[in-house]
Structure 1
């Protein structure tokens, strides 16, 4: 298993590639216009959302994962800013959230019925017979530059209309490399993917890093649903969790210790982690969380504490109450908030 979700879908990496290529073939032939640069995606973190993001990338387009926790008005503003012509979603999800992105929607339920035998056969042969480099050339992606856009992620809009942040292949790729060099995810790791792809942490770490690195990933569509998350973690023996302190408090109350018994790395961000919560989580689950820091514009991880069992030689020890040390290649400094001058 390379990727799975709480709906029961489970795919190997090769099967995911076949499904992605078949979807890409259909979108390129039937949906996307030649000049259509940005493509909206309106789905929770699941296997279909993973395949859709990858299909858009392999079609040479820019994925725009839209926020389903905002109003239809804000959603339409985001669609307008991103100049979207289509949004890929599902009828079931639209019925659940009751939102309208304001542009034509492509429903995955319909796509499944319209993908042809030719699409599937082409996808299967290319996935089985072509090397990664050969597939790259076949798809016409050899002209893609590292500084070309990969995604647009909208900020929360807490101070006004959400801003679209463009992240390039280089931005996301560097973050994936930083995660690899810092946390050292391996073939025995299973990442618990609960963060939405419209959030840069979920997009970069649980979508791209978890699929590019040797680990596996199991998705649940909402980080707020503790009990299904506990069942998913137990089923797939999850070892890595990305969350916020608020989510951890919920999991302390609703998840049984045996469901998290394989957990080794718990990274928290977005909020300040109360020191008492470190002890409470470790006491219940036997795993001590670590803190990191990031921002959407920074793709997103800037720095993180490294758990001792994952630390390589020369990496500094965990310092609780801090956000850790920057990834390789990232420079940071502490400045006075008023004068912008570096502090000693």
Structure 2
């Protein structure tokens, strides 16, 4: 079907002709099962469980029948699982009935989980019994039902034909998930995404990277994040390929061994994961991985070059956000077509543009806010009408990210709008300084923030992680920056985090994205007032996805 014929919101309409061959996730899974029922679909090395397309299709139907006894069709549930078969069984079983799934980060504190459970208006919570200690306080405080789900093997016997007949009709524009992302005022915000959003994005990525049923994706990011459920899962399913799921916490040290053992050809990561793999002594066999998708934060050029030189795997940088189903642009494929240093050109399913502060589109080469529209864009934020009006205004999703487009149509990502440093009227992107620091042979990671200054508005503080914390001083690193940066861009202060007893590494989210907001909070509470001065007032920030 042509998505233009669907009841789209203004910001979901693009100038492209976009085909949607599957109305929903269940249709997609059923079609791929019909094409190759005996092909291996899901692999879980940690528990040594494997499922063919046919086996998992039946599991999803069984889960759907089981869920129907607990939740009404088109209701909402929260799920709290790691990267396990049980997560995917509940997910696919639920969405086949039009049930909206709210995946919750397993690392959240009980109070944080409670906010999401209450805010999402869910009818029930399904969870991994191994998380019982964390879930127990919630069960004691809340009246909502909690259902442990330990093993897909424990699902009731299935009459597949009858289960299929009992499924409701689920439209492409029906919500499929609410993914909660970081908020600017403390509480996370729920992004409401549809079956259409995920499937059109997945198919676009399959076509872009020429993925096939022989594709074997290794998922090292958590399934409760949009990257795990869209890029690793939906995209590989659209290709009819196979997926290896690993525990994000334990995956890095065993990454290359898993790639070798299972013949993985494709993965999606954050730049900090590439940096971590580079810091480890493990080598991978060349020839398996055909490419790595990378996004979520700026990828330093030196990191990309060092990784590709050592491991021989091309990295394809892209741009997007949870609100746009993950990615909206990519560097061209194959690798020789890339324009290094850019996040590539817009995918054929959507439109992008760059605007100024008055929402006027700016000429190529001019920096501004990156905007997206198309069928990959979310419905909006759950129960946040004012934010919806702000972020989805004038028929476009306003990403809150700064960048530009060149004359060839390549986009450049500069910084989160809220991370921008304005010092004495000069706009400075943290990535400019982070790129310089990343070239230092003793720096493994860096993150730059703006801190309040009574005269200039902002000053610059850089946090760095060193390979050898005793090999360089702060003043030496500042002098190093001075060799490549204009005076107004040079950090006034550098903090070597290896020497901090209470923050030994850069704070990261579940997908290993560096959290600049946490660094600002740390600076304010620990470093800003060494002599008891009045605390500075802080500019609120946010992260996308």
Partner residue of 1:247?
Answer: 273
CA change 1:158–1:68 in 2 (3 A) is farther
After superposition, the Cα gap between the structure-2 partners of 1:145 and 1:215, relative to the gap in structure 1 and judged at 3 Å, is same
Give the Cα–Cα distance (whole angstroms) in 2 for the partners of residues 255 and 307 of structure 1: 29
Structure 2 equivalent of residue 28 of structure 1:
68
Flag the 1:88–1:277 CA change in 2: closer, same or farther, 3 A.
Answer: same
What does 1:121-136 align with in structure 2 at a 5 Å threshold? Answer: 122-123=159-160, 135=164
Matches within 5 A, 1:211-290: 211-222=237-248, 225-254=251-280, 256-258=282-284, 261-290=287-316
Superposition pairs of residues 128-167 of structure 1, within 5 angstroms: 135=164, 138-141=165-168, 143-157=169-183, 159-167=185-193
Deviations 1:189-213 (A, max 9, x none): 1111122222112121222222232
> Which structure 2 residues correspond to residues 29-44 of structure 1 after superposition, within 5 A?
29=69, 31-32=70-71, 34=72, 37-44=75-82
Residue 146 of structure 1, CA deviation = 1.6
1:320 counterpart (322, 337, 340): 340
Give the drift of 1:186: 0.8
Q: Unaligned 5+ residue runs, structure 2?
A: 1-39, 364-545
Contact 1:59–1:139 (8 Å) recurs in 2: no
Structure 1 counterpart of 2:420: none
Question: TM-score normalized by structure 1?
Answer: 0.85
Number of the residue aligned with 1:175: 201
Partner residue, 2:24: none
3-state DSSP class of the match of 1:333?
strand
Aligned counterpart, 1:314: none
Match of 2:353 in 1: 333
Within 5 Å, give how 1:94-105 maps onto structure 2: 94-95=132-133, 100=138, 103-105=144-146
Are the equivalent residues in 2 in contact too, given 1:195–1:223 (CA < 8 A)? no
- In the alignment, what sits opposite 1:308? 334
Which SS does the other structure have where 1:291 is aligned? strand
What SS does the corresponding residue of 1:180 show, helix, strand or coil? Answer: helix
Count of residue correspondences: 320
Distance across 2 between alignment mates of 1:199 and 1:21: 24
Matched with 1:80 is 118
Q: Specify the alignment match of 1:131 in structure 2.
A: none
**SS of match in other structure, 2:277:** helix
* Residues 175 and 99 of structure 1: CA distance in aligned 2, closer, same or farther (over 3 Å): farther
Pair member with larger Rg: 2
RMSD (CA atoms): 2.5
Contact 1:223 1:247 in 2 (8 A): no
Q: Is the 8 A contact 1:65 1:153 kept in 2?
A: yes
Higher helix share: 1
Residue equivalent to 1:12: 52
CA–CA separation in structure 2 for the residues paired with 1:64 and 1:275: 36
Residue 301 of structure 1, CA deviation: 1.2
SS at match of 1:334: strand
How big is the shift at 1:94?
A: 4.0
Distance 1:341 1:166 in 2: 27
Deviation of residue 259 (structure 1)?
A: 5.1
- Per the alignment, residue 343 of structure 1 pairs with 362
Moved over 6 A (4+): 96-99
Query: What is the CA-CA distance between 1:70 and the residue it aligns to?
Result: 2.7
Post-superposition offset of 1:41: 1.1
Determine the C-alpha separation between the residues in 2 that align with 1:258 and 1:230.
Answer: 5
Matched, 1:107 2:151: no
TM-score, normalising length: structure 2: 0.55
Higher strand share: 2
Aligned to 1:209: 235
In structure 1, list runs of 5 or more residues that go unmatched: 128-134, 312-316
Query: Is 2:209–2:334's contact at 8 Å kept on the other side of the alignment?
Result: no
